[in-house]
Amino acid sequence: MDGSIVRITLQDFMTYKKVVFDAGPNINLIIGPNGAGKSTIVCAMLLGLGGKPKLLGRTVALNSYIRTSCKIARIEIELKNSRGDNYVITRTITVDGKSSWQLGLTAATQKQVEDLVSKLNIQVYNLCQFLPQDRVADFSKMNPQQLLENTERCIEVEMVNMMEKKTLLQKVEELKQKRAWLLHNSMQSRVMKMKVDKKNATKYSAMHEKRYEPMERIIEAAKAKVKETERSLGAVNAEAKRKLAALTDMLESIEKTEDLIKENRQDCERKIQAEQLRQKEVSYLLQQINKLQNDLKGSTKESVNALRTELDVVKKQMNEKTDCISRLRHEREKHRSDLENITHKIGLQKEEQRKIQDVANQRLELLRRKHKDVYDAVMSLRENKNKFHHHIYDPMMLEINVTNPSDAKYIEKMIPHRDLLAFTCEDKEDMNSLVSIFRDQKNLKINVVHSGSEHRPFSSFKPNVPISNLRHLGFYTYVVDMITAPEPIMKYLCRMYHIHNIPVGDSSTFTCSDQVPGSFNYFFSDKHVFQVRCSKYSGEKSTNTSEIPDPFYLAISTNVQLLQQVQDKLIDLNGQKQQKISTLEDIQKQMHQIEVEMEEMRSRKHSLMERMEQLRTVEVKLSAKQRQWENLEQEKLDPELEKAKCRADNQLLVLKLTDQNVQMIKLFNHYDQSLIENQILHQELENVRNETTKREMESRHLLQKWNEAKMMALNIEEKLHEAEIELKRLFEEAKAMTGGVSPDDVEFEKFRSVFLGFGNTEEEVNREIQETKAKADCLRDANEMVIQDYEARKSQIVSLTADIQIREKESETLKEEMARISGLWLPPLRKLMSQFNKKYGECFARLGCVGEVTLFTGDDEKDYEQYGLNIKVKFRDGEQLQELTQRLQSGGERAVATAIYLISLQEITHVPFCCVDEINQGMDAINERMIFELMVTTSKRIGSAQYFFLTPKLLPSLLYDHTVVVRCIMNGAGALSSDDWNISDILRKKARLSRKQL
């Protein structure tokens, strides 16, 4: 129901530093000790909804509600809104006794808050809805008139809402009527403007058509002139090319003649220079031949043979060394290949070792996929570890390693998932800082445990019974010996879950489980877990056996046995590798020694070959020089004879060159005349082409303008046609909305006067429609019959009031009229009271008592101001029904009567919620149980109000329903924040304590 409470958040309010209270949908049982715990919630609800402190009867000073040592207190209440975002009311109280308000994120006044609360039918001053502990007694103090007035306030607000909603819906219809005529008028203006645009576009198109028509003739004449000029230019160009070709041929002939003259001169000079060089080279060759002949005289044939013999001996020795090196090189390559194979195997084993040991990353990836909040906290912690005093350990699932992965199922069965995902702190200050950063600031859902130096060391946790004494039962180890983890985690697990005293057995343990000593109330076989309990009364032992589920978090663990095998293989391979390296070093040393000896032999061989080569070189050079001298002698010539021959050839070539120059001058003059004619025609052709291009561009531009003008006119005509159709449709639609009346009709004046109160633009009217609809939607759906009945009554009341003023002296007639009027509302009221009385009596009958609610009319039934409600109750046989007062009944009896009244009232009223504080105080167990069952039954019906039932205790074995939410209020210096409560953990700890006691 709109207005029901979703959440209450308190900060530094009374005794709470911070608490978040998420309200359930139907019944909220708020359990806590007597005192400030529950009163805090009641005060917060009252003050946060606009109430005044004095209503609680505690204090009138606002600053008294601020928590000690704090400067401000804040209350935030979230109320349900089914039509949009929930309403959030925030009140901040300061030490100077002032307070400020917010609605959502916007500052507000107390009046705005009270208006919202009133609209939601939340009546903080009505004891029929809001009954704090200090005001419970006031309920029985109300006189009949006050009780009737408060009951009616819970019911008759619906009538006001229905009337207001009807008015708002009528306004929406009137706004829609004005919007329809605004749309019509706007479209009519558009049509008139489009008609003017169409006329202008037609004129514009005709103008451009007239300008375009003569352009085609002008362009055709220009193109003809271009063709004629191009033909003349072609003829001149052909003649110029012919003349240029003849001129080019003559130039080439002249160049050839000049080249021949140059070549004759150069050839003569080259021959003379060549003869001079030949003479010098012959002289030099003769000197070299004489020197080489002298060098050969000092060498004999026997010395050459001796050198050749010595050289053969050296080559034989080098071949032997080469064979030895080849043998060693082959042996070295074999060992290198073996070394590469060993190195490859070492790499494979190291990769296998890395895969076995890469448990942390695999578990971290599992954490990222399944628990994003915890994963984000781990990543953030690793980047900010320097902010804490001591080391903070990652969640236990990342820190614990199971020696044998097949044993992971035992560990996960022992350790709850909450602790497997919990961070471990050695320092309490670090623990508080971690919770503040991740939960409060980053809103991450994490768990944190403390295991510091003040706790027992891990080494002090020893099994009570040595495992050797249990082997005959199949036990082979304790759970603690299956895992490794940091010291704080190990001692936490021993302290909390006693893993050092929980043995693990094989399949034989299952068959002889009844022989396990009674000191073990928790142990494992290979596939089952056993929980043994012993009755405190009979001493009888009962055993609960269940299968061990497969592990999830610790299934990824390091296989220590497989890891040891890999490490042993790595040690063996590394030994083989070192042996191969040593062998290769020995081979390399032998090869180096042979290379040194080979180098000496190469040097000796080189020296012998150089000496033999020198002798052969001298002989070859002498033979070559002699042949060269003979060739030079054959090339001998006479310089004077060559010069005379060159002069005679050049004289003939000069005469030929003179004739060619005369012919070239004539050809050049003819070609120059053709070039002048070409330039003249070329310039004329360019001018004609430019003129033609200019005319074509003008034509294309005019044609484009004409086409654009025609298209624009066509578009305007199409849009005008569509607009005229739309104008006709809007006119008919607007006329229909105003009952067939148009602005031209006289009857339209009534609509025009109504429209004056609305906006003048379509946007303003649309906004008013949305705002009015929103206001109407916030109200309850109206019942037309109720509204008609109400309007009829209202009209009758006005008419009767006027009639009374006119007929003041006619009392008899007035009495008859009053009787008629009372007949309109008094029977429904009596019927309502009858229904209420029936429900009230049925509830009392279930308690074995009697209760009734009757309409109190006083001594004079015509004195309507005296009308009220009487509550009468009877709790014991032999007594008479007595009116409920603060003196006749005990406190417990008054509480029962008040509770039943509030429960019965829910059948005929609609309020968002009811708040009742400690109304069960003073009730006996039977009445308290019956009241609770009545409340649960009533709350299950559709449209029931939300209950807040505050109590210091509850009876055991009450009848609960899924609509009931239990809230336990724990306050004090050592109390946990509401964020730290986890009912599953509390139940598990309770179970562990019970096992320890057994």
Q: Residue 301: its pLDDT value, please?
A: 47
How far from each other are the two terminal CA atoms of the chain, in whole angstroms?
Answer: 49
Phi-psi region at 121: left, alpha or beta (left = phi > 0; alpha = psi -120 to 50) = left
Give SS3 for 446: coil
DSSP states of 180-245: HHHHHHHHHHHHHHHHHHHHHHHHHHHHHHHHHTTHHHHHHHHHHHHHHHHHHHHHHHHHHHHHHH
Query: Is the pLDDT score of 497 beyond 80?
Result: yes
CA distances from 776 to 344, 391, 829 (A): 82, 61, 28
Q: Residue 869: its pLDDT value, please?
A: 81
Q: Residue 540: its pLDDT value, please?
A: 73
Predicted TM-score (pTM) of the model is: 0.34
Q: Residue 393: its pLDDT value, please?
A: 93
Name the CA dihedral angle for 244, 246, 248, 254, rounded to a multiple of 10 degrees.
Answer: -150
Q: Residue 781: its pLDDT value, please?
A: 52
Give SS3 for 765: helix
Averaged pLDDT for residues 622-648: 74
User: Would you state the structure tokens that stand for residue 870, as one six-digit string?
Assistant: 């009487």
The residue to which tokens 């009209």 are assigned: 795
Q: Residue 525: its pLDDT value, please?
A: 93
Averaged pLDDT for residues 653-665: 79
Averaged pLDDT for residues 53-75: 75
User: Under a CB-based contact definition with an 8 Å cutoff, are residues 553 and 366 in contact?
Assistant: yes
Q: Residue 909: its pLDDT value, please?
A: 67
Name the CA dihedral angle for 880, 883, 889, 894, rounded to a multiple of 10 degrees.
Answer: 130
User: Would you state the structure tokens that stand for residue 793, as one six-digit string?
Assistant: 């009554």
Q: Residue 300: its pLDDT value, please?
A: 46
Q: Residue 302: its pLDDT value, please?
A: 45
Number of Cβ within 10 Å of residue 860's Cβ equals 9
- Between CA 425 and CA 200 the distance in angstroms is 86
Averaged pLDDT for residues 314-323: 82
Averaged pLDDT for residues 229-241: 80
Out of 14-18, 135-139, 261-265, 925-929, least confident range: 135-139
Give the residue from 889, 916, 923 showing the smallest Cα distance to 902.
916
Pairing of strands 913-917, 946-951: parallel
Query: 460: pLDDT confidence band, cut at 50, 70 and 90?
Result: very high
- On the CB side of 816, CA atoms within 13 Å amount to 4
- Between CA 392 and CA 388 the distance in angstroms is 8
User: Would you state the structure tokens that stand for residue 314, as one six-digit string?
Assistant: 């050296």
Averaged pLDDT for residues 510-537: 85
Query: 71: pLDDT confidence band, cut at 50, 70 and 90?
Result: confident
Q: Residue 528: its pLDDT value, please?
A: 92
Q: What percent of the chain has pLDDT over 90?
A: 10
- Between CA 547 and CA 524 the distance in angstroms is 10
Q: What is the mean pLDDT of the chain?
A: 79
Pairing of strands 27-31, 541-547: unpaired
